[in-house]
Amino acid sequence: MSKTKNQKFIFITGGVVSSVGKGLVSASLATLLEARGFKVSVIKCDPYINVDPGTLSPFQHGEVYVTKDGAETDLDLGHYERFTNLDLNKNHSITTGQIYQTVIDKERKGDYLGRTVQVIPHITNEIKSRIFKGAGQAEITVVEIGGTIGDIEGLPFIEAIRQIRIEKGIENTIFAHVTFIPFIPSAGELKSKPSQHSVKALREVGLQPDFLLCRSAQTINKELKEKLALFSNLSVENIIPVPDAESIYEIPLFLNKEKLDQKLIQRMSLKTTLASLSKWKNIVQKIKAPKKETTIGLVGKYVHLKDSYQSIHEALMHGGLAKQIKVNIEYIDSEKKLSSKDLKSLNGILVPGGFGDRGIDGKLKAIQYCRENSVPFFGICLGMQMAAIEFAQNVCKIKGAGSRESKNGKSIQNFIIDVMPNQKPLTYKGGSMRLGSYPCLLLKNSKIQKIYKKDLIEERHRHRYEFNFNFTEQFEKKGMKVAGVHKGYENLVEALEIPKHPWFIGVQFHPEFQSKPTKPHPLFVSFIETCEKNKTT
């Protein structure tokens, strides 16, 4: 059980539809509470049975977000970190898979002393103890329950938070239900009925919401608020409109305008100063009044679900913020046959991470185009690996150059991307990947070192394969340089660049995971600035 007395919990559930924006609402609440000086924590509970989203296809579930400690987590943790000063870890991402794995392990060890192991209390106890662990020493913890109310998988989580309310008391627990108010064009109206049903479903499992956060295309009017309040057993003040925002970073400001933070604080009997939100206001102002713009092509195979590149999308936006550059992103399917014509209108190209063989030809084509035409190129993880292969094939003329990851292994004579012999001493967590934060030394006078203005950096990783260090000499002779290496295992290459090119950098790590609107990542800032200047095309 929690060690911290009077620790507060705000539980966020969702109703009516998925993708209603619970993650952004949770992140925004954390922003507001942090801005009022509270020590906060945020936890995501995912009711699916996968142990972590690492094995889920990005086509189905969007991006896998990687924390500093190497946990493969739900993309909502990305929002939480971008919106706050928090450094989250594996304790902030809870799944049904983890819960059952622990309970079954305990059962096998005989920890339950012959008792029948049941959802209540054993599964719910494990959920509660993980929520308390994720809360740590925080004064207020926002706990987002994934999925939609009524899902079978979500029930043990709902039961666990119901029990937490009993244990901790009303003053220390808040239930906020995020719901969707659809606009029916033929009636010309916003409709409250699905939300009424959703609240009913919530009450059937023992939760009376304290706040209803109403997501809708337009803001809801007084009558609708009154109707929702009546059917939800709430006062009108606790019906909070959350209309669509032009920028996601505007949501904390919306909620603050609705005095939600103030109401939550009152409800929890906490004392606080006013929220200092000037930083966020400034960000939103800059986003809304761009001075210049640039168009970036993002060449990948998961482009049909934009969530797959969520952190990259955000990092590119942050990159534009410093100089008030609006970043237009064109998502280009790497599985389509690409020609120079398709790429001509772009001011720069980013090839993101990915797995497997599909879409590789499109990526190689885009990289070759950038290299030969002095178009800014940014390769991330698989993007860097592909840049190395393209260079090996077309510049170094290395026969049958390819990656160990390729299924087409027979035609590969030279593995430019390979499993390196000294990969093993690295700490491997979760499967066989290099995961989480690792130190990297940037080479003196390299472009990347000048961008970071540092020699030693720490960036997050999620990959199996590495650049084959044995090809370094051949590459360097032809103009592609090793610009960063793992500190401690210097033949693990972390960054490659072409110094003669205006901006051609590939990194083995994922810089996008550390970019925040309040702290844009230097690589993205530099890339966007260069792309904007490259508008002569």
Of the residues 510, 521, 531, 532, only one is catalytic, namely 510
Is residue 462 at the binding interface for ligand GLN, with CB under 6 A as the rule? yes
Distance of closest approach, residue 405 Cβ to ligand GLN, in angstroms? 5
Is 512 tagged catalytic? yes
> Which range touches ligand GLN (CB under 6 A), out of 20-28, 82-90, 115-123, 456-464?
456-464
CA angle 425, 429, 431 (to 5 degrees): 105
Residue nearest to ligand GLN (CB): 353
Selected from 254, 465, 509, 524, the binder of ligand GLN by CB under 6 A is 465
CB of 64 to ligand GLN, least distance (A): 9
Closer of 106 and 464 to ligand GLN (Cβ): 464
Q: Which is nearer to ligand GLN, 62 or 209 (CB)?
A: 62
Q: Beta 466-467 vs 414-418: how paired, if at all? A: antiparallel
Distance from C-alpha of 525 to C-alpha of 381, rounded to nearest angstrom: 18
Q: Which of 20, 13, 7, 70 is nearest to 44 (CA)?
A: 13
Question: Distance between CA atoms of 436 and 441, rounded to whole angstroms?
Answer: 16
Helix (H) or strand (E) holding 158: helix 155-168
The b-or-e profile of 410-437 (16+ CB within 10 A means b, else e) is: eebebbbbbebeebeebeeebeebbbbb
Nearest approach in angstroms of CB 433 to ligand GLN is 7
CA dist 308 to 46, 63, 301, 488, Å?
17, 4, 10, 32
Roughly what angle, to the nearest 10 degrees, separates helices 222-232 and 193-204? Answer: 20
- Would you count residue 78 as binding ligand GLN (CB under 6 A)? no
Contact 500, 439 (CB under 8 A): no
Asked if residue 184 lies in contact with residue 78, where contact means CB atoms within 8 angstroms, the answer is no
279 vs 358, which CB is nearer to ligand GLN? 358
- Report strand pairing: 72-73 vs 65-66: antiparallel
**What DSSP character marks residue 305?**
S
**Residues from 220 through 279 that contact ligand GLN (CB under 6 A):** none
**Contact status: 381 vs ligand GLN (CB under 6 A):** yes
Considering only 144, 342, 390, 405, the residue that binds ligand GLN (CB under 6 A) is: 405
Rounded to a whole number of angstroms, the minimum distance from the CB of residue 70 to ligand GLN is 13
Contacts with ligand GLN, 95-134, as mask; x by CB under 6 A: ----------------------------------------
Q: Which of 61, 215, 447, 463 binds ligand GLN (CB under 6 A)?
A: 463
Name which of 526, 525, 505 is nearest 380 in CA terms: 505
Residue of 81, 314, 497, 512 marked catalytic? 512
User: At its nearest, how many Å lie between ligand GLN and the CB of residue 428?
Assistant: 13
Contact 158, 148 (CB under 8 A): no
Phi and psi at 497, nearest 5°, equal -150, 160
Q: How many residues appear in the chain?
A: 537
Cα atoms found within 13 Å of the Cα of residue 81, Cβ hemisphere only: 26
The β-bridge partners of 240 are 213
* Residue 440 annotated as catalytic: no
By CB under 6 A, tell whether 92 contacts ligand GLN. no
In whole angstroms, what is the distance from residue 29 CA to residue 23 CA? 10
Tell me how far, at minimum, the Cβ of 382 lies from ligand GLN, in Å.
3
Shortest separation between residue 463's beta carbon and ligand GLN, angstroms? 3
**Three-state DSSP class for residue 126:** helix
Residue among 382 and 498 whose Cβ is closer to ligand GLN:
382
Tell me the site size for ligand GLN, rule CB under 6 A: 10
**Nearest distance, CB of residue 434 and ligand GLN, angstroms:** 8
Q: How far apart are CA 261 and CA 134, in angstroms?
A: 22
Cβ count near 107 (within 10 Å): 13
Residue 510 annotated to the active site? yes
- CB nearer to ligand GLN: pick between 8 and 463: 463
Assess 382 for contact with ligand GLN (CB under 6 A).
yes
Q: How far is the CB of 511 from ligand GLN (least distance, A)?
A: 12
Question: Is 301 an interacting residue with respect to ligand GLN (CB under 6 A)?
Answer: no
Structure tokens that stand for 447 in this block = 């472009």
Candidate ranges 9-17, 157-165, 204-212, 458-466; the one touching ligand GLN (CB under 6 A): 458-466
| Site membership for ligand GLN, residue 460 (CB under 6 A) | no
Nearer to ligand GLN, 100 or 355 (CB): 355
Longest Cα–Cα distance of the chain, Å, equals 75
Q: Is 464 in the site for ligand GLN (CB under 6 A)?
A: yes
By CB under 6 A, the residues from 347 to 376 that bind ligand GLN are 353-355
Dihedral sign for Cα 339, 463, 380, 50, please.
positive
Q: Give 161 or 392: the residue with its C-beta nearer to ligand GLN.
A: 392
Q: Considering 45, 370, 381, 440, which one is annotated as catalytic? A: 381
Query: For binding to ligand GLN (CB under 6 A), which residues are involved?
Result: 353-355, 381-382, 405, 462-465
Residues annotated as part of the active site: 381, 510, 512
